[in-house]
Structures are given as C-alpha cells and as structure tokens.
Structure 1
Amino acid sequence: MFTDQRLTQAYNNAKVLLFDDHSKFIFFSDSHRGDDSVSDEFARNQNLFLHALDWYYNNGYTFVEAGDGDELWEYPKFKHIRIAHSDIFTNLKKFHDEKRLIILYGNHNIYLKRKQYVCKNYYHYYDEYKQEVVDLLAGLCPREALVLKHKKTGQEILVVHGHQGDAINDQFWFLSELLLRYFWKYMHVVGFHNPSSPARNLYKR
C-alpha cells in the first residue's frame, strides 16, 4: 500500500517531457560509479560505458540516468568519483550542454534531492591543471521521477528508480547506507555480495 502512495507522490512531482514517434531516449540505471578503488564495481565497465555514451550522443539520443548513477553511500565525497571517472563526466556534460541529459535520483544517490548539494558538487569544480573553476553540469536539476507523455496520444510512461516504498531502501535508507559504507564495502573486496541487493531478488527486479 505504501508503495502505491510513494509512486503516486513521485508521479505528481515528476518532470513531464513531451515526445513523439521520432524521439530517441536511452535509459541507464544503477551504474554505481565509485572512486576507482578495488571496491568500485563500475571501474571494470568504464570503457564499455564510454563507448555507449559516445554512440548514443552521436546518434541524437536523450540520456536518462534513472537513479544511482553515482555511488554516494559508499563514496560520500563526490569529488573522488568525478576525478576517478572524469571521462564519463566529460561525456555527460556534452549531453547536458545540449539539454539531452536527465538525471533521476535513487536511494544510493538520494543526496541529489537537495539543491544545495547538487550546486556545490555538480555545477562546477576546480580544475587543478587550469588553476580555475570550470563548469561541470551547471544548472542540473535531478528529479525523483520522469513522465514521458506522447504529444498525439497522451499516453504516459512513468520512469522511476524503483526504490519507492521499499522500507529498507526508502524510509530507512540511512541504515542501509551505514551498512554499505562500513560493512558491505569491505565484503565486496573479498568477493561477498549483499544478499538484499535487487540484483539477487526476483521480486524487487
């Protein structure tokens, strides 16, 4: 029941984007970009992700990141993620500059719901090589949900990360964050996997 309420809330506050039969979108979710340490599970897929970004950018797609792009539970300092995967953010900036980037927040990057956090970490950064502050994703406005609405038919598609209503990942997300940051982060290094992960839960998938 609570899941219905949370999804309804997300729908009512969603960004609405009109589309037609010629619109092109690509959806990515749960990239979980880290700091390129041994516990960063995204690092091994970075090159593949880069090639995908290049292809979709060159072919006119709008890039929708549907939650948990950055692993802010495990790596709370975004600066370390940005530096570790600078090529990724350079490519995301290309989408952003052409208004073809939409970022939704999930549970692992829920901090993006706070405008102050986004302004401080995502708008600009200090380029140590150039010795100056440069733009990153200036003006970025992450949302919890996206509604794609067809211009002619009015048909709607609701896009969310999917954690809404799941108690441990929604209402009590801070407890899961502590477990991941101080326990599962180190268990990943030696090969153990979190059994509560949706990747291992057919119902959540």
Structure 2
Amino acid sequence: MITVLLVDDHPVVRDGLRGMLNSETDLVVVGEAGSGLEAVTMARAHRPDVILMDLRMPGLDGVHATEAILRETRTSRVVVLTTYESDSDILRAVEAGAIGYLLKDATKAELASAIRAAFRGETMLAPSVAGRLVRQIRSPAGPALSAREVQVLGLVAKGRTNAEIGRALHISEATVKTHLLRAFSKLDVSDRTAAVTTAMARGLLE
C-alpha cells in the first residue's frame, strides 16, 4: 500500500481527495493537515510515502512546508496540488524538492497516476506546468528589469510602503505603483512578496 498525507486548508477539498483516493486498492490516506505547520507535524508522525501539498495556506505555505518536511523525511515524496500555475510558483515548488506538480482540475486517474509515479521516484507534471517550466529553463532571466524597478523592489524587500518608496526615490506614489506593475509583469508574479522572492532567486536583489 502507498500511504498518502493530504495537506489543504479547505476541509471540503480534503474530503473530496480522501474519497477519490480511498477507492483505489493500492492507496491509503493516513492523515490530513489543514496548514503547513500541521503538515510538518503529521509527516513526522506518519512518514507517508507521498504528500499531496497545497501551495497557498495561512502561516507556513506549501513551499516552506515542503522544505521542512524533506529535510526530516527523506523517504517522503511531495506532489503539489494547487490552482496556481505561475512560473514563480512552479519554480519555488520544484526548488523546494517537490517531485510532482498538478492542478486541482486533474482527474481521479491523473491524481492516482501521479501518486504512484512519485512513489517510484518519477516526476509527474501537469502538461501546462511542464510547458511553463521548459520555457522558464530555456529563458530563465525573462525580460530585464530596469534599474528603477530594481531600486523599487529593493525597497519593497526592506518593508517600505509605496509612499515611503516614493519619498526615498523622489517620485510619486503612482509612479511607484507603475514600476511595481511592470516588474510584476516581467517576473510573472502577482504580488509584492512573490516579486521580491523571484528577483532574489534570479540574483537581481541581495
């Protein structure tokens, strides 16, 4: 039997996944977690073969939970199951050690197949995710950030608000927002935290 830990902050999603997986004769759900911190604790207790991990959760997110779990539990495999497929989300999950990346519109057969593949140590990616990952590897840098965009992100990394950044750089708050939106587009992210994380990963910020 392949033991599985479900990690998602929505109980309804966990219920649906448990029902799908328990109908498979070679898969058994041994635990459920509603947060990243709980996932680390459950993984330590159950040592599951495969962990289905959501990305966006309050507190400790799926990426950091994956890193923490794999530091302790070398035999467990993590398969991300999420609604998000931006380049930054995919790269962060893969860099954290996830062996698979599926979207929540996956079928029951695809989900079961991915779990079995992960158990064998094989990578399983949703087709759209695989395409994004290949494009990102072929052109990892993406469009270059301007010097001003790097300056703005550097101040964001220090916790400055848009108004504070505007005063520091002697530009209007509206101009700060414009620089941020352009940086978001170039980095293929949708928020300040992801922009800073991605810029750091690409060596654009210290």
Same fold (TM over 0.5): no
TM-score, structure 1 as length reference: 0.30
The structure in which a higher percent of residues are helix is 2
Task: Choose between structure 1 and 2 for higher RCO, CA contacts under 8 A separated by at least 6 residues.
Answer: 1
